Structure formats: C-alpha cells, structure tokens
C-alpha cells in the first residue's frame, strides 16, 4: 500500500504516489509541475486509472456488455479510450453522440438516451446507425415512426417503481419520474405492445435506471427481479439494468469496488437464468470519478475571528457544481505537503458571486496555508468538467491526461476570447 500521507488511498487515482518531501505525483508527474505547465484550475486525469476501471467492469460482468455512460466525462479523448477498451458509448444528446463518433466509437456500439430527444437527434441516430435507441415516451414513438428507413433497434425504458436510496435529484426509477414508461400504471406494457406490433421497430430489449450514487445492493436486486420478469413475459432478448453505482468522496466513505458491483450483478442475472451475452450495464461515475483530481490556486485567506476562515480559490461552482446542486461532500488537500498535518478547518470557496459557491464546507488544511499555494479536491473525474459552466464569464479549465510520466492535453483551457465566439454585435 502506497504511503500517501494524509490522502486516503481510496480517494486517490491508482497511479498516485508521494515523494520524500510529501509532493503528490499522478501518472509519474508532480501535481505542482502540471499546475505550472497548464495553469489552474486544472483537471488531472490518470489515464491508467480509467483503463483499469473499465477492465475491472468488463471482467466482473463476464460475457455481458459494459456501456460507458458518457455524461460523466464526455470528451473525444475519453471516447478513444472507451473504444480501445471495447466498451459501448452511452450518449444523451447530439453532442455526446458526436464526441463518441469523433473518438472512433463505432455507431453500432452506441446507445442513445434522453427523455426528450429532438427530431434532429433521432434522425442523426438513425442515419449513422446507432446500435440502440432507448425509447422514453409515447411522443418519441410517434417521432420515430415518422422517420424513413429500415426498422430501428430500440430498448424501452421502464420506471420500475423503486425508490433508490440516494439524493432525490438523482433518483430515476420511482413512479414519479420524468424518465421512461411507468410500470405500475400499465404504460410500459402498452408501449411494449405498440412497438412489437409496429414494423418500424425491433424491440430488442428493456432498460431501467434507478438512480445515481446508489450504495444499496437491495435496490439493484429488486430492479433485476422486476425487469427479468418483464423481459420473460414479453419475449425480448436484451436487458440493461443501467448504472448508478456509488463511489466514495469522503475519507470515511468506503464502498464496494466497481469489480464487486459488476460481479454481483453478473451473479444476480445468472441466478435468474438470463443469457449473459444479452445483459448490459452502464457505469459512468464509477469509471471516471476517482481517476481525476482538480487543482486550484489559493487567492484569498479571510479569517473572521470566532466565526470561520474562508479559503478562496480560482475556480468554484463553475468547474464543480455538485456541492451547490446536491450538497455533495468532498475533501481537500495541499498536494505539495501531504505529510503535513491537515488539522485546521476552513471553508474552501470559489470566486463566484454566490454565497453558495462552496466547494468544501469543512475542509481540513494545514494551519500555515499560504496565498499562492495549491489546493486540490480529489474524486472529481465525474460530473465536474462535464457539468461545468461559464458563470461570471469564467473560462473553463484545462483537462490533462497523465500516464507513465507523460502528459497530454485532453481539453485546452478556454480563453476569454472563447467566451465571445457566439455573440453578435461585436
């Protein structure tokens, strides 16, 4: 086990090491060196970690198919890795489809999701030959039937009525959901019947997704039991159980590995007698989250005696909106001094004009932290860059991939000029 100082191993990228003076290295490169070369804020991705997690999922799931849920980190560079590791690519928009195609993913190994797909998105999916379109509503069935061409291979998304134990905003399998066809009120069965009797569709399978950041195995067990029965009753071949496996963001938050999740699912499917080659799973966060750290530069340290100390950095809710959206917890560390005691509680905040722009409400950092030092938040590889914005006209950070002592830009840093590319009247 590597000695990472105060940084718990389960929060670190797999290649993380710490040198003799307490400097964090990822992919064989010092975080401070990368920050100096590429600036801050900076997302640093361990490419070996991404590949390892993909292989872990594939190995655990056996002969089933693993689909990377691209919304977690939907870049061209990531699509290339997905293609090389022989995963499928899950897109929920024309842009995510394009990222997969530009990264070399074959259309036949792509899945198109979305609760309100436009005609343009559906037409593009049909024209390029996307492998599966996940149908989400009766309106979408109408739209697909208006498109010319051969029969479309589809999955039907079902909301099975399971209240997954996670944040309300990321539950998707309960009856009251904007996603899919309700099972309890008969909509799912009506949609299945309609699609099986239409010449425009090949209903190759059913799909469900109960939520994101789910820790309870029982939630998945119940979903599998319900969906297997529905598959058998309607004589369809394929079943995708979605994703949503939880990951640890905090030092005391230990969760099953991705390999454990997929192996357990494999055994659950086997117990129901489902052909393993006809089963699918969609991990996204669990592949990407711990692969990356975000590095910031401290700009202001403001102590209010008897109240709180605020440490403000050069990013914030524009590069990691999860704390604002969901109250998500993170840890923070000084990557050049991981052997130093991180024993002073501060509020790590961003630079946006919002009181809620808080990255870590109770961050533990060294008492002698200085302006100009680097601070990092780990486990930011999923839904950080992907959900980022230009709020306050802030350019979005660069993304760099590291592996075996080499660094490459996955996404260049935006410039202020980039912010005005679409504006008229200049």
Tokens (6 digits) for 373: 């030092």
The catalytic residue among 208, 240, 353, 364 is 353
Q: Which two tokens stand for residue 60?
A: 């655990």
Every domain range in the chain assigned CATH 2.40.37.10 = 9-46+290-420
**300 CB contacts (<8 Å, ≥6 apart)?**
310, 311, 312, 371
Find all residues with CB under 8 Å of 100, minimum gap 6, and list them.
Answer: 70, 79, 82, 89, 91, 110
User: Are residues 119 and 144 in contact, defined by beta-carbon separation less than 8 angstroms?
Assistant: no
Q: Looking at 4-8, 233-237, 262-266, 356-360, which range is the least confident one?
A: 262-266
Active site residue 353: yes
9-46+290-420 classified as CATH 3.40.190.10: no
Q: In whole angstroms, how far apart are CA 81 and each of 68, 169, 288? A: 10, 30, 12
Q: What average pLDDT does the segment 138-146 reach?
A: 95
d(CA 334, CA 220): 38
Q: What is the pLDDT of residue 108?
A: 97
What one-character-per-residue DSSP string does 82-137 give?
HHHTT-EEEESSHHHHHHHHHTT--GGGEEE--SS--HHHHHHHHHHT-SEEEE--
Full-model pTM = 0.94
The CATH architecture one would assign to domain 48-286 is: Alpha-Beta Barrel (3.20)
Among 128-132, 258-262, 316-320, 380-384, the least confident range = 258-262
For 153-167, 224-238, 325-339, which range has the lowest pLDDT when averaged over its residues? Answer: 153-167
Taking 50 as the threshold, does the pLDDT of residue 133 lie above it? yes
pLDDT at 244: 86
Q: Helices marked H in 169-300 — which ranges? A: 187-196, 217-234, 258-271, 285-288
Q: Pinpoint the residues of the chain covered by CATH 3.20.20.10.
A: 48-286
Helix (H, G, I), strand (E, B) or coil at 367: coil
């Amino acid at each position: 086990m590597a000695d990472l100082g105060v940084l718990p191993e389960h929060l670190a990228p797999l290649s993380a090491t710490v040198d003799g003076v307490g400097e964090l290295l990822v992919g064989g490169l010092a975080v401070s060196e990368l920050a100096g070369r590429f600036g801050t804020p900076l997302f640093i991705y361990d490419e070996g970690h991404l590949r390892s997690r993909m292989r872990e999922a594939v190995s655990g799931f056996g002969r089933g198919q693993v689909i990377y849920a691209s919304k977690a980190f939907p870049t061209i560079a990531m699509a290339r890795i997905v293609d090389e590791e022989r995963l499928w690519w899950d897109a929920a928009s024309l842009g995510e489809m394009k990222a997969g195609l530009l990264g070399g993913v074959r259309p036949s190994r792509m899945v198109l999701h979305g609760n309100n797909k436009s005609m343009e998105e559906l037409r593009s999916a049909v024209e390029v030959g996307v492998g599966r379109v996940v149908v989400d509503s009766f309106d979408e069935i109408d739209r697909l039937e208006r498109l010319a061409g051969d029969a479309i291979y589809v999955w039907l998304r079902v909301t099975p009525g399971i209240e997954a134990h996670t944040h309300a905003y990321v539950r998707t399998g309960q009856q009251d959901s904007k996603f899919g066809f309700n099972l309890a009120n008969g909509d799912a069965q009506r949609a299945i019947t309609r699609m099986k009797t239409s010449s425009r569709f090949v209903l190759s399978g059913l799909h469900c997704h109960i939520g994101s950041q789910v820790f309870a195995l029982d939630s998945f067990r119940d979903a599998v039991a319900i969906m297997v029965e529905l598959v058998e009753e309607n004589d369809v071949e394929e079943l995708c159980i979605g994703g949503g496996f939880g990951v640890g963001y905090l030092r005391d938050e230990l969760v099953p590995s991705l390999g454990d999740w997929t192996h357990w699912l494999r055994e659950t499917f086997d117990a129901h007698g489902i052909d393993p080659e006809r089963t699918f799973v969609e991990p996204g966060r669990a592949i990407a989250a711990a692969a990356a750290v975000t590095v910031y530069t401290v700009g202001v340290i403001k102590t209010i005696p008897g109240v709180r100390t605020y440490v403000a950095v050069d990013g914030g809710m524009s590069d990691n909106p999860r704390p604002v959206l969901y109250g998500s917890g993170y840890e923070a560390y000084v990557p050049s001094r991981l052997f130093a005691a991180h024993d002073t509680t501060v509020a790590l905040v961003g630079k946006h004009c919002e009181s809620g722009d808080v990255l870590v409400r109770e961050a533990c950092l060294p008492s002698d932290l200085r302006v100009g030092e680097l601070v990092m938040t780990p486990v930011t590889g999923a839904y950080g860059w992907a959900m980022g914005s230009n709020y306050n006209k802030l350019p979005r950070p660069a993304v760099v991939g590291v592996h075996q002592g080499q660094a490459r830009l996955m996404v260049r840093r935006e410039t202020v000029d980039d912010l005005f590319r679409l504006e008229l009247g200049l």
